[in-house]
């Protein structure tokens, strides 16, 4: 212990809540004073993650309304902890007793039992995707902070199963958050085909962070990409993370993989290419930060599977009810939220990296 529900050293988020408990939420300790913030700032983020919004997401009826309980006074953050509450409303709609003693394949049922000797079997409890609602709310606050510094993260679906986007189309808007209309159509067909047989699909999410100044991130263990990796891999169902050229870099050569430094029109230093993905030696280099993550197919499927129960007896299982045939689209905003949390944390850390910066910070006007 502690049970790992906190993230960040400066912009520090602690989340709580189970899928079918009374409520979920987040407490942010370390958000600077002086940012305009209201529940309206959280809404657009929460809406993108919400269940029941398209043919590819579950019908669970949650409005995911956020109540800010503390840390904001007259519309401005005060520097004290910002607590956000999200009530579960539709948590009593289903009977989970038939799976209470069965370990669902691909889920955390078995491992929670081995760790804690007990599990809240209602819809996955703390290991449910519903846990991410609290992350998204916290990420929205980080986004508001970073907006003050011109930093903006954008995540989107890069591929579903074998279907990848071609050229990024910023004008395209669809329920898969896949910025290429043709790819969206094919991906929809792919998902529908799998769903019709009770099966599910995976995919890849890409995230681009613009406006990050050079110099963020710590050397050694807390490299900016290492923190992004932890942040993104901590989202349930994510199985891989890569930055810049990622696994492709293993096939490249030094001369092809290195990015030349060149002068920008304004005289500053930029990179001619961005194989590094915006981070060198764990520290942001001023280019766009670009990373990808792999999302596994939804584990809850209605096909017959072989498993075991708590008493060590083999059992068959067919998971009833509607489940998302693909997690990817709802995870997009979660990836974005985690990116914001990492960058916010690193930005705050940078203010005490150097004596000259500290002196500027503390100088009375």
Q: Which of residues 317-346 bind its own copies (CB under 8 A)?
A: none
- Chosen residue from 229, 332, 334, 337 binding its own copies by CB under 8 A: 229
- Chosen residue from 39, 106, 174, 182 binding its own copies by CB under 8 A: 106
User: What is the 3 state secondary structure string of 277-304?
Assistant: CCEECCEECCCCEEEEEEECCCCCCCCC
Q: Does 274 bind its own copies (CB under 8 A)?
A: no
- Chosen residue from 39, 43, 78, 274 binding its own copies by CB under 8 A: 78
According to CB under 8 A, which residues from 184 to 213 bind its own copies?
A: 194, 199-204, 213
According to CB under 8 A, which residues from 32 to 61 bind its own copies?
A: 32-35
Q: Does 168 bind its own copies (CB under 8 A)?
A: no
Q: Specify the stretch interacting with its own copies by CB under 8 A; choose among 42-50, 52-60, 173-181, 250-258.
A: 250-258
Q: Does 244 bind its own copies (CB under 8 A)?
A: yes
Token representation of residue 347: 């930005």
Q: Which residues, listed in sequence order, are joined to residue 82 by a DSSP beta bridge?
A: 28
According to CB under 8 A, which residues from 283 to 312 bind its own copies?
A: 283-286, 294-301, 303, 305-308, 312
According to CB under 8 A, which residues from 346 to 365 bind its own copies?
A: 347-363
41/170 with CB nearer its own copies: 41
55/248 with CB nearer its own copies: 248
209: nearest Cα among 158, 284, 144? 284
* Neighbouring residues of 60: CB distance < 8 A, sequence distance ≥ 6: 51, 52, 90, 93
47/303 with CB nearer its own copies: 303
Q: Does 254 bind its own copies (CB under 8 A)?
A: yes
Q: Specify the stretch interacting with its own copies by CB under 8 A; choose among 53-61, 68-76, 89-97, 171-179.
A: 68-76
44/162 with CB nearer its own copies: 162
Token representation of residue 17: 């809540």
117/170 with CB nearer its own copies: 117
Torsion of CA 49, 52, 57, 58, to 10 degrees: 120
- Chosen residue from 29, 39, 169, 182 binding its own copies by CB under 8 A: 29
175/239 with CB nearer its own copies: 239
CB of 365 to its own copies, least distance (A): 8
How far is it, in rounded angstroms, from Cα 78 to Cα 35? 8
Helices 132-147 and 39-49 sit at what angle, rounded to 10 degrees?
Answer: 130
Cite the beta strand spans of 45-148 per DSSP E: 66-68, 72-73, 76-77, 82-87
- Chosen residue from 154, 174, 230, 274 binding its own copies by CB under 8 A: 230
- Chosen residue from 169, 172, 182, 222 binding its own copies by CB under 8 A: 222
CB of 171 to its own copies, least distance (A): 25
170/306 with CB nearer its own copies: 306
> In 10 A of CB 281, how many CB atoms?
12
> In 10 A of CB 129, how many CB atoms?
23
Burial (0-12, 13-18, 19+ Cβ within 10 Å), 220: exposed
| Residue count, binding to its own copies (CB under 8 A) | 168
- Chosen residue from 180, 277, 337, 340 binding its own copies by CB under 8 A: 277
328: nearest Cα among 150, 213, 188? 188
Token representation of residue 11: 């912009």
123: nearest Cα among 38, 18, 222, 204? 18
How far is it, in rounded angstroms, from Cα 185 to Cα 176? 10
């Amino acid at each position: 212990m502690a049970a790992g529900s906190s993230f960040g050293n400066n912009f520090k988020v602690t989340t709580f809540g189970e899928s079918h408990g009374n409520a979920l939420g987040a407490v942010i300790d370390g958000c600077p004073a002086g940012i305009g913030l209201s529940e309206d700032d959280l809404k657009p983020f929460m809406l993108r993650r919400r269940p029941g919004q398209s043919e590819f997401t579950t019908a669970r009826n949650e409005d995911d309304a956020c109540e800010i309980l503390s840390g904001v006074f007259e519309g401005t953050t005060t520097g004290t902890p910002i607590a956000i509450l999200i009530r579960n409303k539709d948590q009593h709609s289903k009977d989970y007793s038939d799976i209470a003693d069965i370990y669902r394949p691909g889920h955390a049922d078995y491992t929670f039992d081995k760790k804690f000797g007990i599990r809240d079997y209602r819809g996955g409890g703390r290991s449910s995707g519903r846990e991410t609602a609290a992350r998204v709310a916290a990420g929205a606050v980080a986004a508001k902070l970073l907006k003050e510094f011109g930093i903006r993260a954008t995540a989107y679906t890069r591929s579903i199963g074998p279907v990848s986007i071609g050229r990024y189309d910023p004008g395209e808007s669809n329920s898969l958050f896949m910025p290429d209309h043709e790819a969206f159509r094919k991906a929809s067909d792919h998902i529908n085909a799998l769903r019709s047989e009770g099966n599910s699909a995976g995919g890849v999410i890409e995230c681009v962070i613009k406006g990050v100044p050079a110099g963020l991130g710590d050397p050694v263990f807390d490299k900016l990409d290492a923190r992004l990796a932890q942040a993104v891999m901590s989202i349930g169902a994510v199985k891989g993370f890569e930055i810049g050229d990622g696994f492709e870099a293993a096939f490249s050569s030094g001369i092809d993989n290195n990015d030349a430094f060149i002068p920008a029109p304004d005289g500053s230093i930029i990179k001619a290419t961005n194989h590094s993905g915006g981070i060198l030696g764990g520290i942001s280099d001023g280019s766009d930060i670009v990373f990808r993550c792999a999302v596994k197919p939804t584990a809850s499927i209605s096909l017959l599977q072989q498993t075991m129960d708590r008493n060590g007896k083999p059992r068959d299982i067919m998971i009833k009810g509607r489940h998302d045939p693909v997690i990817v689209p709802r995870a997009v905003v979660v990836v974005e939220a985690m990116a914001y949390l990492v960058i916010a944390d690193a930005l705050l850390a940078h203010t005490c990296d150097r004596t000259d910066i500290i002196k500027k910070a503390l100088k009375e006007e």
